[in-house]
Structure 1
């Protein structure tokens, strides 16, 4: 699926797996419908929701009817699943020092996420060193403000954020490399879990995601690492994968639907020609598989739980879908083999019309007609419309046989049987015996074949027939 010519930074699929949304550096958001597409894979809607701001993140709500748009501006937007704007949230006052007293973000957004259990709540992170929780119906101010602080107590910008699968934890990774978590059920004053120097400082950690079992956590760092953390022992990473170059601040990592593997994308270094997807075993963190995607960077990658399909966005504006014929369902399989239907358009014949009112009928030109009217006129012509020959009602004409049939048996019945038919009131035996003398004198078919072995036929006489009609005796027979 071709989004454009620039890198696709945002990619999201709705929970049902019916639609997909992509966002790019070219400020455009495109919506794709797998069931409505054909093999040409064209989007059904393209829009520029945030003017001249690149789209950094796109995410569907838990019900799939709303789409959260995170761009380079300080205002988040919500669209419905057809691309029409539902809400735009307020911008804060940049001249207020305390960020808790502003009603919205005052700097560029970096990330956003929907709450997995509460339909109306979502979260945004920005470069004003705050996380803000919003109510979907309240566009004037946020619900809560969470301030991100470094180990020295100074402000630090969150680069990515996420909710846990059950929605009880709010997590983010900051620009100083620390992982911060808050309990959603309590006041957002003190952190519930903290890991300092989880990634290298002054690098943009591009993704943080929770496993389906809710005990493991994966982070994709800008320091060319992928780290796996255990929430029960959160001081050191359980596994680390290194030498994973990432050029974009939105490179994603995710868990497989069966929670056995971790997947992430790799960008091209200088001199390289292939962008790859790397798969690691969750228990041993050994590289299970390496998939070459395209001759560009791999930015976003989604392993959809319901479809069991991989969707990958690249730096050259292409989105690729990978599926298995036996293990995948719907999604990209619906449009992969669907051919495009040719649409007939009613064109008007274009040409210069010369009006000659006093010309003879032989030299007059008809007015140009539209293609639709020409097709309707040709439909009435049996030659141009190639109408099949109509069935005959009579015996036949022009070498064609009527509905009585064209086989030999039907010909014999029509020419011999009907002309010499036996009437209903005639005795059939007399009609047959009428030809007995002729058949005996001039045998042709059956008599010569059975001449030596044929027994003499004995027919019942007329008197015996009359005797058979008498009633049987009423005398009881002896037993």
Structure 2
């Protein structure tokens, strides 16, 4: 047959809706599997249930439908919230998230006391997991105190991103490398000193912290000992400056808990601004360059007393400040007229359960984002605090923490249902989650099944015995348990693996029969031989005396039998 001749290949007759059609080859030779990236990105589109619109007249129905469709499309184009990437890596509520300046690494902290490391360059649509899990206090755990400290705040350094600040429910702050190693552990103060200016560190739990906007070596921490402390990363023995806040509320003895802190500076240059909120409802402002002897301005009743103001942020120009208090209010302040709020709106607070709830400006300060009790993401207008977009993220679970990365143009959220979500838009966002969804899925391997082998992500081995109610994150690097309440894994030896039978042992192992032989009987076999042919006493065999024993009957006493005393 020539190449020019027409030929026809007979195909099996299979119905179009038959499931066997997907197993039949469509062509000859090896086929290369190529991922449909557009379909993968489309699968990550968020399915948002739209609330039912109120009934209107039939004449207005067509007009309202057109308006709703246009508004929805404009919201998706204006904010990067059309698609999402979901990470299930924690066991409890996610309380803090941070991205490095380049946007390649994502860290998340939780109430379970662990920090999860996610690398966008290593994830694929089928491998959405953390490549590392670190407990900052694992080295100091003991059998008496096996619990970890909740992670309060994580934040990468603003310049290099080589280290990040780790704040836990403890008086000592930690500086850790981007790979999870502890670089510096700052000192704890002396709790028996009354004057907080004389202590070299916090004597109470640290609530949060923030990096200096321009100096890469400085950061500030806010503690429950009524102080703000400025630290130099090159000196862990003592803080650089101490700001002892004195509360004016009667009955507090001049002390209160510092709940939030923010450090900002104008983008075009100028003096930095240090803002802090206290549990007594006060809001104080300091000059960012010092001295910090007294605040530049102070508002006593900024929020309701004894309510936790966990959210505070400064705009990009350093003029506007937004706060979210535990009294259910969001307030907007002007640093140039720092007396009364410009605008205040009602917004339900979650600080009673999760004091880490925050509020953030967008990178260009064109909007403000925060979470809600119902799990919605609120995008607010920076001028009047009216919602420009309200979209559900985790319905039914409070949205605790939010962050907007300037380089990726993506929003990261952490919720009470232990989910970390990365919101993005394919037309607006760059790299990050978009790059993950643009990769081919990784082929499944037998090592990816935690029931067959050790899964490093879960930290659990298939042959490990777990007691009911035991923790799963208390493991060493080798996968063994640190918890003394867990039973130890039995050592598997080569002898136990093969389990040879008795015949195999007797034929292949020399002198193996001696294991089951009576040693006394083995020695008595040589008694007659030693008597007839002695090897060591042969020299005096003929002159060896014979032992003589007296013969005594049963009814007679022996010659030396002593009488019994009466």
TM-score strictly above 0.5: yes
The equivalences for 1:73-472 within 5 A come to: 73-152=170-249, 154-166=254-266, 168-246=272-350, 247-267=353-373, 274-294=374-394, 295-338=396-439, 339-343=441-445
What SS does the corresponding residue of 1:317 show, helix, strand or coil? coil
2:459 corresponds in structure 1 to none
Distance (whole Å) between structure 2 residues aligned to residue 83 and residue 110 of structure 1: 21
SS at 1:90's partner residue? coil
Residue of structure 2 equivalent to 1:9 = 95
Deviations 1:219-245 (A, max 9, x none): 111111111111122111111120323
Cα separation, 1, equivalents of 2:290 and 2:187: 25
Partners of 2:169 and 2:214 in 1: how far apart? Answer: 27
Maintained 8 Å contact 1:50/1:71: no
Match of 1:391 in 2: none
Q: Which has the higher helix share?
A: 2
Q: Distance in 1 between matches of 2:290 and 2:360?
A: 28
How much does 1:55 deviate? 0.6
Cα displacement (A) at 1:76: 0.3
Specify the alignment match of 1:48 in structure 2: 135
The Cα of 1:337 is off from its aligned counterpart by 4.1
Choose between structure 1 and 2: higher strand proportion.
1
Distance 2:99 2:258 in 1: 24
Residues 3 and 22, structure 1, Cα contact 8 Å, conserved in 2 = no
Deviation, 1:341, is 3.5
| Counterparts of 1:28 and 1:207, CA distance in 2 | 22
Q: Distance in 2 between matches of 1:344 and 1:288?
A: 48
Task: For 2:324 and 2:102, locate their aligned partners in 1 and report how far apart those are by CA, in whole Å.
Answer: 26
Q: TM-score, normalised by structure 2?
A: 0.59
In 2, Cα distance between equivalents of 1:107 and 1:340: 47
Shift of 1:66: 0.6
Matched with 2:124 is: 38
Deviation per CA, 1:274-302: give whole Å up to 9, x if none: 41111111123221111101131100001
Deviation at 1:182, TM superposition (A): 1.2
User: How many matched pairs?
Assistant: 351
Structure-2 separation of matches of 1:277 and 1:240: 18
* 8 Å contact kept, 1:161–1:170: yes
Counterpart-to-counterpart distance in 2, 1:352 and 1:53 = 46
Aligned equivalents of 2:363 and 2:290: distance in 1? 30
Q: Give the gaps of 5 or more residues in structure 1.
A: 268-273, 357-479
Shift of the 301–139 alpha-carbon distance from structure 1 to 2, 3 Å rule, reads: same
4+ residue segments displaced more than 2 Å: 341-345, 350-356
Counterpart contact for 1:57–1:70, Cα < 8 Å: yes
Q: Which has the higher contact order (CA 8 A, sep 6+)?
A: 2
The alpha-carbon deviation at position 343 of structure 1 amounts to 4.6
Distance 2:285 2:499 in 1: 75
Give the corresponding residue for 2:156. Answer: 60
| SS of residue matched to 1:320 | strand
Q: Distance in 2 between matches of 1:198 and 1:265?
A: 21
Contact 2:325/2:349 (8 A) holds in 1:
no
- Report the Cα offset of residue 310 of structure 1: 0.9
Q: CA deviation at 1:115?
A: 0.9
Q: 3-state DSSP class of the match of 2:337?
A: coil
For residues 289 and 344 of structure 1, the distance between their equivalents in structure 2, rounded to whole angstroms, comes to: 44
Instruction: Write the distance in 1 (CA, Å) between the matches of 2:309 and 2:408.
Output: 28
Name the counterpart of 1:423.
Answer: none
Q: What CA distance in whole angstroms lies between the structure 1 residues aligned with 2:237 and 2:277?
A: 27
Q: Identify the residue that residue 113 of structure 2 maps to in structure 1.
A: 27
Hey, what's the Cα distance between the residues in 2 that align with 1:335 and 1:108?
A: 38
How big is the shift at 1:352? Answer: 8.2
Distance 1:256 1:124 in 2: 23
1:438 corresponds in structure 2 to none
Shift of 1:60: 0.4
Compute the displacement of 1:218 (Å).
0.6
CA RMSD in angstroms, aligned pairs only: 2.4
